[in-house]
Amino acid sequence: MFGKPLAYYIGLQTPALIAIFVVFLVRLVMSMGGIPDSFGKVLSITFVLILALPYYALVAKREGLTFKHLYALCFVQSLFSQTLIALAIGLAILTGHDNIYTIPEFYPGAAEGMPVDGKNWMHAAAHVVFAGALILPVVSWAVSSVLLVIARKVKSW
């Protein structure tokens, strides 16, 4: 991707990807284990995604990466996180039991014309296609690009 192998990007962002996976897994296990969803709200994949953005800017500065390489980091992060969520939605569909990723509080689909129940394949696909591949990479790239410009202006970090 942009002249670098996918493994290069994954290697640069391994700590962030591990953090995303851990938060995802803890939330899912807590939800499926009967722990009230209010406890799961304390952990947020979105928060981890946001925390990773300054890290990516600093890594891009250190590695001499361009803005397109920064986009690749944001794309990998977004697609990874949203694919995990889609898998959790798929699990809920297959088991017939809601988890924290399908409950109405986190899936207000009925208000937007989508099926009322969060356990549906359209919901899972929307996470991968719209959130993971289209919206989140662009938004996170824009924010991390601003942070990269700032990081480049600072002499040392």
| Rounded-to-integer distance, Cα 77 and Cα 21, Å | 11
Q: What percent of the chain is predicted at pLDDT more than 90? A: 78
For the segment 83-108, what is each residue's pLDDT rounded down to a tens digit?
999 999 999 999 999 999 998 876 76
What pLDDT sits at residue 94?
A: 97
**Over residues 115-129, mean pLDDT:** 90
Examine the pLDDT at 110 and tell me if it is beyond 70.
no
Examine the pLDDT at 112 and tell me if it is beyond 70.
no
- How far CA 142 is from CA of 45, 135, 146, 148, in Å, comes to 19, 11, 6, 10
| Rounded-to-integer distance, Cα 102 and Cα 13, Å | 28
Higher pLDDT, 154 or 142: 142
| Rounded-to-integer distance, Cα 156 and Cα 110, Å | 50
pLDDT band at 75 (very low <50, low <70, confident <90, very high): very high
Cβ pair 137, 71 in contact under 8 A:
yes
| Rounded-to-integer distance, Cα 36 and Cα 82, Å | 23
**Over residues 43-48, mean pLDDT:** 92
| Rounded-to-integer distance, Cα 65 and Cα 57, Å | 9
pTM given for the model: 0.91
Examine the pLDDT at 115 and tell me if it is beyond 80.
no
Q: Which helix (H) or strand (E) holds 73?
A: helix 67-95
Examine the pLDDT at 40 and tell me if it is beyond 80.
no
